[in-house]
């Protein structure tokens, strides 16, 4: 069995440009072996090296007094939460695999992000996800495909998360034509650890043994690989699965075994095998340690026969870790991995020559400087197209829709409608920490062992991002922070998943750059670092690129259990207040999209100072025990926000906005930023007004919670009313009806 | 990998000709066996295999778990059944199917 | 000082709710709860055994089908025979059925989807060590989280269970009415949990350990554990 010769066609098939290949030649001082070609091609791919986006990502603020491990250092960032405890969290995408096989694509996406967390030494405690699909309404072939993708992705996440025993406690699901054919699956995981438990992925200690632990290696993920060393017959094609299958049970064992192993002092370094599998973990650990790593491919546990070194090195089989063990402590690995019934093998050692060296028995098939592979990949500054911000929406071109019918229609829009169909399939209570179940603004999780209360939210309004990426990205950060404030939490860190189209197209690259700059501005304004994240490019089909979608996930802490706040109105007689302005910006709104079929207009203005002042004012009155519910205004405007607040406890509300020159649909459905609807006990109203007046933020009383489950909204001289039960049914039944058809 | 096994009917042919009028429905029995593709990881099979070893069965090389779907249908043709097996009963991305017509 | 109840929480490969059960038990003063690895073969010294929820062996093949052969199950059976309290929650219930320590089996939810939500249970029989502090007809708010919770037994077995008062909790609505709408998975007779003929083995699909803390959705699961504590105390007093 001999390898193919290195030809320009082979190099091109590996995705390396002629210039990149020249760089390989100059690094090695010779032609690469076939295996080395494969190794460079995968390490220098966009997916692994971020070569098209790294220069932009450097703009993120990543430092701060609470940052213990910063973005880019390790697999996930780590933030201090006090009393010697810390959290490790990150979000990652698995978009393209989910388009091919939604169940396994989503499942393995969840598996991958969980490994990134426990490889840091943290025990994973909860998950979130941000999902996007094309429209699921109607009977077109595309709609049917979108429904199948949606069902498959949710089932895959449920399968993996439930089996491994991690609650999925929050998320978002959006439906928009731009995602047809390009679903987005972004999975977030957070883990908890003590400062002294932080584990690093560096190959430290010359002579230390290198262990492979976890599932056996197969040919997973190699369908996309350019070549193997034998002919691609029909038979061999069948040997190369197009999709990886996740085994959450194996990962549960791996998680427990690794945490048990890390609790001993036998580990010098640990790294999960994710994208680019064994190759990536080997060269990255060597690079971080400033050392070299030598492994023998024949010692790697394998589940398929006759795999070549190329195949083993590039395989993306799941549920595997690389562990650098302190010399003399090999028996600890044996004991623990035999207890948990997992494959393990000593496959190599740490050297002092800075090389990633792979042997097949006595033959050396790869001998490359680790740093060149891991850190010195090519970097590109792509061209960004000049951008003209969209014009303000001309209201005269928007016929006024009757709010009586518009509100139910908005509540039925799958992007706004209840996602219960989704989260009822997730075990969101395992680990007994979920204090606020899905369905409120932010999830709240109590970490028993640390006695800490965490809150988390994930947001991105891609309509805003499409129309003005810079504004949309800033709003994504602000909206996350607003959701955290509504739950009583203060933000501590951000992780981002940048989902964009082909970066070679200047208009797409502009979107990436503008989004990064917008996120950076937002994080600086809120004083939170970006701890890490993920970039997913080339999300496009012949129909075009997806709307730019920089998904933001933000984590916060709540000082006291008494501060935990949820969005549902609590009791009749409570007074309802609006923090912020009534607003009038209808541009880029869901009302415009869902009712008038238009995606246009400048997105609402975001003023960080005003936004932060409102969040702080809310947190202030929450801490004084004055707030019974808090819900922010976002898609669908204040009418949707108030309706949603009625649903939780089947209460009604009577709201009056006062005299105005604005049309009713403008008042009820505008998406002006920095607005939060709160309710307080009638007896606390005076105290609340006193506290809020002292902060200087705009606020006004707008109404009262009613026992009779009817929602009535009055703006100017126009009055509208709806049965809450009827609105709730529309809200709850929208997605189940579409999915059961 | 698709294999079709057509069992020879022991029904007397003259009777078949007599009853084979276009509008006379015949009952077709078929079995579709769906298995994970050979190179695909089968976590359930792996777990079952290890359990067998713990129960004393030595030398277990491979265990793969699939499902068997028994169909009785009036008057479908084989081509239709293949389509159903491919589009509905199996996930061609990760599974292969075998269609066996019993009668 | 000796604990008033010493509990073994069995940990199988793939158990997820083991530490949740332990934490819930430890919230009762005087209770000791230890995680016991499935390869152990003795349960000597324990007043009660809990088989927690999760996905033992990934739920592969059939839920609980592989865990029932774990080494610890010999000791669990011996404990059950000796009258020790054995509580199986969710996957634990499935393991007890596969092991034959409880009759019947749990099939896939009739709606085919995994369901996690709060719902209501009606207490049917309080003449057991698991339900003695509750009262007959009491409605409890206890969550479920399962994909295979559809209780099935053949007609003879079902008739026996019902006649013997072995059904301890049924799915019901908020007012305590046992209706088809209140049944989340298709279980025969809306059965959510049953006990053995000898009353000391109890299996239920809902998760009482998830409602032992008002901050985490309620305390209505505490009654089951409290009943166990009292039963153990009474037995020791004898």
**Two structure tokens written together for A121:** 């030494």
Nearest CA in chain B to A235: B1
Helices and strands of chain C, counted as H and E runs: 5, 11
Tens-digit pLDDT profile for residues A46-57: 888 899 999 999
Q: Over 70: is that where the pLDDT of B25 sits?
A: no
pLDDT of A224 reads 53
- Residue A267 bridge partners (DSSP): A325
Inspect the interface and report whether the beta carbons of A424 and C115 lie closer than 8 Å: yes
pLDDT of A226 reads 45
Residue C65: domain span = 5-237
Q: Indicate which CATH number applies to the domain containing C152.
A: 3.40.50.880
Dist. CA A215–CA A301, nearest whole Å: 8
DSSP A485-534: HHHT-EEEEEEEEEE-S-TTSHHHHHHHHHHHHHHHHHHHHHT--EEEEE
Alpha helices in A210-329 (DSSP H): 234-238, 248-263, 277-289, 309-314
Inspect the interface and report whether the beta carbons of B93 and A249 lie closer than 8 Å: no
Phi, psi of C122 (to 5 degrees): -105, 130
Which one of C11, C12, C14 would you mutate to disrupt binding with A, by most A Cβ within 10 Å of its Cβ?
C14
Q: Over 60: is that where the pLDDT of B21 sits?
A: no
Residues 199-218 (C) with a CB less than 8 A from some CB of A:
207, 209-210, 212-213, 215-217
Nearest CA in chain B to A242: B93
Q: Please compute the mean of the pLDDT values over residues B49-67 and round it to a whole number.
A: 93
What residues in chain B have their Cβ under 8 A from chain C's Cβ atoms?
A: 43-44, 47-48, 51, 54-55, 65
**Two structure tokens written together for A5:** 């010769």
Q: Please compute the mean of the pLDDT values over residues A426-452 and round it to a whole number.
A: 95
Q: Please compute the mean of the pLDDT values over residues A302-319 and round it to a whole number.
A: 91
Instruction: For Cα atoms A96, A99, A105, give the angle at the middle one, nearest 5 degrees.
Output: 75
Dist. CA A681–CA A573, nearest whole Å: 7
Nearest CA in chain B to C14: B47
Q: Which position among C63, C97, C207, C212 bears the catalytic label?
A: C207
- Residue C36 bridge partners (DSSP): C10
Topology of the domain comprising B20-101:
Mth169; Chain: A , (3.30.1280)
pLDDT of A238 reads 58
Which chain C positions have a beta carbon within 8 Å of A561's beta carbon?
215
Which chain A positions have a beta carbon within 8 Å of B63's beta carbon?
none
Tens-digit pLDDT profile for residues A354-381: 999 999 999 999 999 999 999 888 999 9
Inspect the interface and report whether the beta carbons of C58 and A341 lie closer than 8 Å: no
Burial A514-529 (b: 16+ CB within 10 A, else e): bbbbbbbbbbebbebb
Which one of A125, A162, A739 would you mutate to disrupt binding with C, by most C Cβ within 10 Å of its Cβ?
A162
Domain boundary assignment for chain B: 20-101
Please answer whether residues A480 and A89 qualify as being in contact, where contact means their C-beta atoms are separated by less than 8 angstroms. no
Which chain C positions have a beta carbon within 8 Å of B55's beta carbon?
69
Other beta carbons within 10 angstroms of residue A380's beta carbon come to: 15
pLDDT of A214 reads 96
B with C: how many residue pairs have Cβ under 8 Å apart?
A: 21
**What pLDDT band is residue A5 in, cutting at 50, 70 and 90?**
confident
Q: Which position among C17, C21, C63, C90 bears the catalytic label?
A: C90
- Measure CB to CB from residue A239 to each of B36, B38, B93 and give the nearest one: B38
Tens-digit pLDDT profile for residues A189-245: 999 999 999 999 999 999 999 999 999 999 888 755 544 434 444 555 555 666 789
Phi, psi of A542 (to 5 degrees): -55, -30
Q: C97 Cβ partners below 8 Å, 6+ apart?
A: C64, C103, C104, C105, C106, C203
Which chain B positions have a beta carbon within 8 Å of A214's beta carbon?
none
- What pTM value is reported for the model? 0.93
Alpha-carbon torsion angle C204, C205, C210, C211, nearest 10:
-60
- Measure CB to CB from residue C58 to each of B47, B54, B55 and give the nearest one: B47
pLDDT of A242 reads 64
Torsion sign over Cα A275, A276, A279, A283: negative
Residues 156-185 (C) with a CB less than 8 A from some CB of B:
none
User: Of C178, C44, C153, which Cα lies nearest the Cα of C103?
Assistant: C153
Which chain B positions have a beta carbon within 8 Å of C73's beta carbon?
none
**What pLDDT band is residue A417 in, cutting at 50, 70 and 90?**
very high
* % chain A with pLDDT above 70: 97
Inspect the interface and report whether the beta carbons of B55 and C60 lie closer than 8 Å: no
Which chain A positions have a beta carbon within 8 Å of B94's beta carbon?
101, 104, 241, 243, 245
**What pLDDT band is residue A33 in, cutting at 50, 70 and 90?**
very high
Known catalytic residue at A504: no
Q: If you ran DSSP here, which 8-state letter would residue A75 be given?
A: S
Query: Which chains, if any, share at least 3 CB pairs under 8 A with chain C?
Result: A, B
**H or E element that contains C159:** helix C155-163
C58/B contact by beta carbon, under 8 A: yes
Q: Over 60: is that where the pLDDT of A595 sits?
A: yes
Q: Which position among A14, A47, A159, A563 bears the catalytic label?
A: A47
Which of A9-23, A396-410, A513-527, A628-642 shows the lowest per-residue confidence on average (mean pLDDT)?
Answer: A9-23
Q: Over 70: is that where the pLDDT of A529 sits?
A: yes
Q: Over 60: is that where the pLDDT of A85 sits?
A: yes
- Measure CB to CB from residue C216 to each of A163, A252, A446 and give the nearest one: A446
> Number of folded domains in chain C?
1
A446/C contact by beta carbon, under 8 A: yes
Which of A389-403, A577-591, A614-628, B46-60 shows the lowest per-residue confidence on average (mean pLDDT)?
Answer: B46-60
Inspect the interface and report whether the beta carbons of C66 and B65 lie closer than 8 Å: no
pLDDT of B87 reads 86
Question: Which of helix, strand or coil describes residue A174?
Answer: strand
Pairing state between β C139-146 and C115-123: antiparallel
Phi, psi of C96 (to 5 degrees): -65, -35
Nearest CA in chain A to C56: A249
Q: How far is residue B89 CA from its own chain's centroid? A: 10
Pairing state between β A123-133 and A77-82: unpaired
**Two structure tokens written together for A26:** 């100059």
Q: Over 70: is that where the pLDDT of A466 sits?
A: yes
Instruction: Assess: ipTM above 0.90.
Output: yes
- Residue A705 bridge partners (DSSP): A653
Q: Over 50: is that where the pLDDT of A658 sits?
A: yes
Angle between helices A469-487 and A608-623 (to 10 degrees): 10
Inspect the interface and report whether the beta carbons of C113 and A163 lie closer than 8 Å: no
Nearest CA in chain C to A246: C58
Question: Which of helix, strand or coil describes residue A336?
Answer: helix
pLDDT of B24 reads 53
pLDDT of A699 reads 98
Known catalytic residue at A47: yes
Inspect the interface and report whether the beta carbons of B43 and A247 lie closer than 8 Å: yes
Dist. CA C173–CA A363, nearest whole Å: 70
Inspect the interface and report whether the beta carbons of A252 and C145 lie closer than 8 Å: no
pLDDT in tens, chain C (238 residues): 789 999 999 999 999 999 999 999 999 999 999 999 999 999 999 999 999 999 999 999 899 999 999 999 999 999 999 999 999 999 999 999 999 999 999 999 999 999 999 999 999 999 999 999 999 999 999 999 999 999 999 999 999 999 999 999 999 999 999 999 999 999 999 999 999 999 999 999 999 999 999 999 899 999 999 999 999 999 998 8
Dist. CA A706–CA C12, nearest whole Å: 51
pLDDT of A221 reads 80
Q: Over 60: is that where the pLDDT of B4 sits?
A: no
Inspect the interface and report whether the beta carbons of A247 and B94 lie closer than 8 Å: no
């Amino acid at each position: 069995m001999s390898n193919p010769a290195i030809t320009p066609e082979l190099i091109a098939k590996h995705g390396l440009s002629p210039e990149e290949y020249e760089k390989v030649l100059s690094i090695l001082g010779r032609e690469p072996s076939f295996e080395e070609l494969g190794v460079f091609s995968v390490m220098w791919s966009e997916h692994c090296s971020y070569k098209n986006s790294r220069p932009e990502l450097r703009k993120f603020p990543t430092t701060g007094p609470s940052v213990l491990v910063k973005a880019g250092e390790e697999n996930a960032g780590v933030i201090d939460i006090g009393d010697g405890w810390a959290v490790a969290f990150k979000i990652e995408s698995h978009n393209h695999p989910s388009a091919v096989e939604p169940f396994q694509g989503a499942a393995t996406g969840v598996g991958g992000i969980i490994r990134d967390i426990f490889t840091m030494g943290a025990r994973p405690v909860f998950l979130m996800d941000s999902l996007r699909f094309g429209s699921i309404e109607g009977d077109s072939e595309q709609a049917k495909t979108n429904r199948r993708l949606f069902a498959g992705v949710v089932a895959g996440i449920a399968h993996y998360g439930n089996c491994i025993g991690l609650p999925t406690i929050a998320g978002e699901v959006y439906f928009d034509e731009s995602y047809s054919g390009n679903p987005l699956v972004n999975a977030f995981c957070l883990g908890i650890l003590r400062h002294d438990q932080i584990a690093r992925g560096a190959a430290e200690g010359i002579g230390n043994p290198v262990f492979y632990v976890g599932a056996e290696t197969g040919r997973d993920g190699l369908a996309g690989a350019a070549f193997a060393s034998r002919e691609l017959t029909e038979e061999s094609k069948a040997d190369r699965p197009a999709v990886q299958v996740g085994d959450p049970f194996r990962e549960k064992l791996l998680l427990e075994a690794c945490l048990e192993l890390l609790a001993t002092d036998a580990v010098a370094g640990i790294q999960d095998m994710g994208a680019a599998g064994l190759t990536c973990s080997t060269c990255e650990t060597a690079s971080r340690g400033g050392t070299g790593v030598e492994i023998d491919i024949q010692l790697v546990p394998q589940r398929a026969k006759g795999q070549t070194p190329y195949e083993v090195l590039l395989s993306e089989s799941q549920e595997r870790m690389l562990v650098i063990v302190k010399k003399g402590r090999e028996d600890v690995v044996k004991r623990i991995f035999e207890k948990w019934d997992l494959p393990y093998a000593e496959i190599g050692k740490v050297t002092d020559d800075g090389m990633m060296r792979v042997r097949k028995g006595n033959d050396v098939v790869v001998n490359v400087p680790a740093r060149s592979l891991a850190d010195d990949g090519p970097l590109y500054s792509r061209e960004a197209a000049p951008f003209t911000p969209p014009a303000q929406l001309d209201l005269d071109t928007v016929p006024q829709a009757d709010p009586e019918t518009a509100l139910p229609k908005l509540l039925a829009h799958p992007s706004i409608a209840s996602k219960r169909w989704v989260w009822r399939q997730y075990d969101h209570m395992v680990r007994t920490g979920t204090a606020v179940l899905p369905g409120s603004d932010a999830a709240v999780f109590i970490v028993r062992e640390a006695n800490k209360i965490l809150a988390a939210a994930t947001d991105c309004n891609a309509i805003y991002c499409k129309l003005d990426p810079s504004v949309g990205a800033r709003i994504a950060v602000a909206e996350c922070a607003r959701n955290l404030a509504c739950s009583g939490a203060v933000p501590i860190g951000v992780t981002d998943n940048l989902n964009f189209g082909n970066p070679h197209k200047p208009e797409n690259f502009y979107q990436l750059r503008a989004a990064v700059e917008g996120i950076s501005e937002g994080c600086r304004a809120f004083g939170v670092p970006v701890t890490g994240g993920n970039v997913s490019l080339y999300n496009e089909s012949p129909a075009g690129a997806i709307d730019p979608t920089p998904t933001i996930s933000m984590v916060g802490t709540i000082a006291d259990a008494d501060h935990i706040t949820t969005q549902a109105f609590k009791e009749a007689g409570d007074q309802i207040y609006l923090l912020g302005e009534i607003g009038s910006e209808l541009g880029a709104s869901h009302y415009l999209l869902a009712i008038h079929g238009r995606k246009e207009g400048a997105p609402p203005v975001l003023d960080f100072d005003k936004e932060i002042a409102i969040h702080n004012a809310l947190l202030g009155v929450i801490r004084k025990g004055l707030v019974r519910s808090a819900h922010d205004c976002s898609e669908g405007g204040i009418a949707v926000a108030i309706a949603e607040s009625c649903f939780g406890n089947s209460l009604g509300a009577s709201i009056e906005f006062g005299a105005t020159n604005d049309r009713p649909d403008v008042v009820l459905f505008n998406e002006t930023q920095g607005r939060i609807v709160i309710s307080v006990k009638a007896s606390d109203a005076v105290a609340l007004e006193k506290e809020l007046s002292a902060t200087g933020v705009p606020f006004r009383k707008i109404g009262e919670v009613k026992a009779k489950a009817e929602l009535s909204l009055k703006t100017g001289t126009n009055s509208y009313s709806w049965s809450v039960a009827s609105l709730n049914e529309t809200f709850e039944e929208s997605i189940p009806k579409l999915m059961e058809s | 990998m698709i294999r079709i096994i057509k069992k020879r009917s022991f029904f007397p042919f003259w009777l078949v000709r007599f009853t084979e009028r276009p509008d006379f429905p015949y009952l077709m029995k078929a079995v579709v066996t769906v298995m994970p593709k050979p190179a695909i990881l089968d976590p359930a099979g792996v777990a079952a295999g290890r359990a067998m070893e713990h129960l004393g069965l030595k030398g277990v090389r491979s265990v793969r778990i699939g499902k068997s779907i028994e169909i009785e249908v009036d008057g479908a043709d084989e081509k239709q059944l293949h389509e159903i097996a491919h589009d509905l009963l199996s996930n061609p991305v990760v599974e292969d199917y075998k269609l066996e017509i019993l009668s | 000082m000796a604990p008033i109840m010493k509990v073994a929480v069995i940990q199988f490969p793939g158990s997820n709710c083991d530490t949740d059960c332990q934490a819930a038990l430890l919230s009762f003063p005087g209770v000791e709860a230890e995680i016991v690895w499935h390869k152990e073969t003795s349960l000597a010294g324990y007043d009660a055994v809990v088989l927690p929820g999760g996905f033992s062996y990934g739920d592969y093949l059939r839920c609980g089908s592989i865990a029932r052969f774990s080494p610890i199950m010999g000791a669990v059976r011996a404990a059950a025979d000796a009258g020790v309290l054995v509580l199986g929650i969710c996957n634990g219930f499935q393991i007890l059925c596969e092991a034959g320590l409880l009759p019947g089996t749990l099939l896939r939810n009739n709606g085919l989807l995994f369901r996690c939500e709060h719902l209501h249970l009606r207490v049917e029989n309080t003449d057991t060590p698991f339900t003695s502090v509750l009262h007959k007809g009491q409605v409890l708010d206890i969550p479920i989280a399962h994909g295979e919770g559809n209780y099935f037994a053949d007609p003879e077995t079902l008739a026996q269970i019902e006649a013997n008062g072995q059904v301890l909790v049924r799915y019901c609505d908020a007012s305590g009415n046992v209706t088809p709408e209140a049944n989340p998975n298709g279980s025969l007779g809306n059965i959510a949990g049953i006990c053995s003929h000898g009353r000391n083995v109890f299996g239920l699909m809902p998760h009482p350990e998830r409602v032992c803390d008002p901050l985490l959705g309620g305390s209505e699961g505490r009654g089951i554990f409290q009943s166990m504590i009292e039963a153990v105390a009474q037995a020791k007093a004898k």
